[in-house]
Amino acid sequence: MPLTPRTLNNCEALDGQDPLAGLRAQFSLPEGVIYLDGNSLGPLPLATPGRIAQTLNEEWGKGLITSWNTAGWLDLPQQVGDKIARLIGAHPGEVVAADSTSINLYKILSAALNIAADDPRRTAIVSERGNFPTDLYIAQSLCRDRGLTLHLVERDELDAALRDDVAVLMLTHVDYRTGTMHDMAALCAQAHEAGMLTVWDLAHSAGAVPVDLHAAGADFAVGCGYKYLNGGPGAPAFLWMNPRHADRIRQPLTGWWGHAAPFAFTTDYIPAAGVNGFQSGTPSILGLAALDCGLDTLLAAEGLGGMVALRRKSLALTSLFMALVQERLQGHGFAIATPADETRRGSQVSLTRAEGAWAIMQALIERGVIGDFRAGDGKHQHDILRFGFAPLYIGHADVWQAVDQLHQVMQSGQWREARFAQRHAVT
């Protein structure tokens, strides 16, 4: 990156030459805020309020129930799914937007276990000990009900864990705590070699890094609508199945919306073809309308190089942040938990500190730099300050300003003020 010294002037010059800089105008971001938490909740696209108003006032208000047919409500889960497909290397018709990531994972993981049950020796799910808790809780439930074992290992123990008693390898592609990214293609190849299926959680990947599910040879994937896809709080999630499994799928939540003919009202369940059979109940049209607008903010980059260009900028931003932290925050007790290796990094950078991470983040938020906090665990004993860099609306100068504010918080000792110790329910 041609940026030495790393000054605010140079950062502004880079932003001035950035072909993606105009994409920020798609968002309603409060003045004076540097938003580094799009990895948790993406910001509001300017188009969303109008679209929601249209859905409420015209489609629901005037069209009433006819809007299922006349306003395209019926097809929205697939239409939105097709937009997501463009971001994750899936084909049209292979992705459906529905439910939450947790519920989709339950359905997908269960379907994968049903396929794997053909070989009764395969009695384990392998995952990482530090995987996102909901993934582990869902897997625990399925293992309990089916008499299977959930084998949790550290990242560097995965190779050894892929044995012939494993039914499914279930991983989150980009780690929510550290931003570390797996080599999906290599792990899929290894897993298939050992005869197991792969299930991927793309919560921190879709819209954040280029994903190519087909090229990687993945089997199943789920992901989240409210993070990098900017779909709004509690937005519908999505799921994908490799079509090679289409004929063997049996999912557990066989609601009428996943029926081949929901409005035939037959007594017996007949699954809809392909990924549509993974739907369960009536979709949230308001949620899908908002997610559709969020996806448009990413697809607006397609003419500018798409996810490849967004990735290039994201790496420039995360590299800059790490370099500035090393340059300006030496001696303040921070360590960088995110890999320096660009091929192993998502679109966030996590800093750890032995004490005070919560208070430091609160002091930073008060100054308009919004990241978030994650408590340490058995492996990461120190608490984490997370900073997400969404290249759609973050620039190099934002990165510089964020580190400058962090430097001021530390130099002044402001974070030690008692009010910053006050904990909130959502971190």
Ligand X SMILES: Cc1ncc(COP(=O)(O)O)c(C=O)c1O
Any catalytic annotation for residue 201? yes
Residue 205: both structure tokens together: 């990947």
For 312, left (φ over 0), alpha (ψ -120 to 50), or beta? alpha
Residue 361: both structure tokens together: 């983040």
Work out whether 278 is an interface residue with ligand X (CB under 6 A).
Answer: no
Omega cis (within 30) before 5: yes
Q: Which of 87, 6, 85, 49 is nearest to 300 (CA)?
A: 87
Residue 322 · residue 336 · CB < 8 Å? yes
Q: Which of 237, 320, 307, 316 is nearest to 279 (CA)?
A: 237
Length of the chain, please?
427
User: What is the total count of residues that contact ligand X (CB under 6 A)?
Assistant: 13
Work out whether 106 is an interface residue with ligand X (CB under 6 A).
Answer: no
Given the residues 27, 35, 132, 238, the one annotated as active site: 132
Work out whether 27 is an interface residue with ligand X (CB under 6 A).
Answer: no
DSSP element (H, E) containing 349: strand 348-353
To ligand X, the closest distance from the beta carbon of 235 in angstroms equals 8
Among the candidate windows 130-138, 192-200, 239-247, 391-399, which touches ligand X by CB under 6 A?
130-138
Work out whether 415 is an interface residue with ligand X (CB under 6 A).
Answer: no
What dihedral angle (degrees, nearest 10) is formed by the CA atoms of 396, 397, 402, 406?
A: 110
To ligand X, the closest distance from the beta carbon of 21 in angstroms equals 28
Any catalytic annotation for residue 377? no
DSSP element (H, E) containing 369: strand 369-370
Task: Show Cβ contacts of residue 133 under 8 Å, excluding neighbours closer than 6 positions.
Answer: none
Work out whether 290 is an interface residue with ligand X (CB under 6 A).
Answer: no
Among the candidate windows 131-139, 191-199, 271-279, 379-387, which touches ligand X by CB under 6 A?
131-139
- Here's the x/- map for ligand X, 332-371, by CB under 6 A: it reads as ----------------------------------------
For ligand X, which residue of 10, 54, 79, 100 counts as binding (CB under 6 A)?
100
Work out whether 102 is an interface residue with ligand X (CB under 6 A).
Answer: yes
Q: Which of 176, 197, 184 is nearest to 88 (CA)?
A: 184
Work out whether 78 is an interface residue with ligand X (CB under 6 A).
Answer: no
Any catalytic annotation for residue 226? yes
Any catalytic annotation for residue 263? no
Residue 283: both structure tokens together: 């979709």
Given the residues 99, 201, 292, 383, the one annotated as active site: 201
Among the candidate windows 113-121, 132-140, 342-350, 364-372, which touches ligand X by CB under 6 A?
132-140
Work out whether 140 is an interface residue with ligand X (CB under 6 A).
Answer: no
- Residue showing tokens 């809809």: 272
For ligand X, which residue of 73, 176, 228, 393 counts as binding (CB under 6 A)?
176
For ligand X, which residue of 23, 115, 203, 209 counts as binding (CB under 6 A)?
203
Work out whether 239 is an interface residue with ligand X (CB under 6 A).
Answer: no
Residue 169 · residue 196 · CB < 8 Å? yes
Binding site for ligand X (CB under 6 A): 100-102, 132, 134-135, 172, 176, 201, 203-204, 224, 237
Residues identified as active-site: 132, 201, 226-227, 386
